[in-house]
Structure 1
Amino acid sequence: MVSDQTRQEIEEYLGQVPSWIDGLSEPAADHSWQVVRDLELGETELPNREKALVALGAAAALNCPYCIHFHTEEAKLEEVTEGGVTEAVNVAANVQYFSTILHGSQVDLDDFVEETSQIVDHIEEQQAASAGAD
């Protein structure tokens, strides 16, 4: 259970203390909230809009209805359109799909890393050539 101080802070941030907070074990309860506050809700390198989309994609890949609902609403608060929400879920599904292919085919990781490096080099060359043509 979170401390009274943390409970008050949660209520200030969210307007209430969600019932799931009571599911946090006491040794980690305050810390768990601090991670949400500082990483997900706080000012970080990623804008909150991007964090909401990352969280939504992860939630969809995990098939967690709670997280999907929360992070969809979070994304909408960050002005992500319905199309953007759908696209984020589709990107997550695509990553999961190809992860299954790579693992099931037992693609060698070192070979994959080398191929990816070559692909990145090629794309960077194309972008540089395109920028030079402008």
Structure 2
Amino acid sequence: MATKQTQQEMEEHLGQVPSWMEHLAEPASDHSWGIFRDLGLGETNLSKREKALVEVSAAAAMQCPYCTYFHKEEARLAEVSEDELEETINLAGVTRYFSTILHGNEVDHDEFVAETDEIVEYIEEQEAPTADD
């Protein structure tokens, strides 16, 4: 279980010490809370809204009902709409789908990178302002 100081921090941030924290091995419990606190709750380059969308996507792709529930609720607190949640989860599914195809068919990574770079270059050219703009 986490140290008393860590338990107090959890209570300050979450209103309680989640029971699942008891399942973390002793040397990792304080550190695990620190990662959760610093990345998930702390000030970072991503907004709370952006973090919630990333976390919901990852949870859905991993098919973790615990994480999916937690991060959907977190997203709702960050004022993510139900339509946005649905789209986020659909995007996670699409990414997982194509990842399965790429990995299962053992697509050559170097060729994939080269093609992606060409696609990005093409799109940038298409979106670049013209002299007429």
Q: Give the structure-2-normalised TM-score.
A: 0.96
Is 1:102 aligned to 2:67, yes or no?
Answer: no
Change (3 A) 1:102 1:7: same
| Structure 1: distance between partners of 2:132 and 2:68 | 43
SS at match of 1:44: coil
Change (3 A) 1:58 1:133: farther
Same amino acid, percent of matched pairs = 59
Question: Which ranges of structure 1 fall in alignment gaps of 5 or more residues?
Answer: none
Q: Give the structure-1-normalised TM-score.
A: 0.95
The structure 1 segments of at least 4 consecutive aligned residues displaced by more than 4 Å after TM superposition are none
Give the aligned partner of residue 12 of structure 2. Answer: 12
Give the aligned partner of residue 70 of structure 1. Answer: 70
| Structure 2: distance between partners of 1:5 and 1:103 | 45
| Structure 2: distance between partners of 1:129 and 1:72 | 39
SS at match of 2:46: coil
Give the aligned partner of residue 112 of structure 1. Answer: 112
| Structure 2: distance between partners of 1:133 and 1:24 | 61
Structure 2 letter corresponding to 1:49? R
RMSD: 1.1
Change (3 A) 1:109 1:67: same
Is 1:127 aligned to 2:112, yes or no?
Answer: no
Q: Deviations over 1:49-85 (max 9, x none)?
A: 1111111011001110000000000000010000011
Give the aligned partner of residue 21 of structure 1. Answer: 21
Question: Which ranges of structure 2 fall in alignment gaps of 5 or more residues?
Answer: none
Give the aligned partner of residue 45 of structure 2. Answer: 45
| Structure 1: distance between partners of 2:132 and 2:104 | 42
Q: Deviations over 1:6-44 (max 9, x none)?
A: 000100000111111111111010010000000111110
SS at match of 1:129: coil
Give the aligned partner of residue 86 of structure 1. Answer: 86
The Cα of 1:129 is off from its aligned counterpart by: 3.2
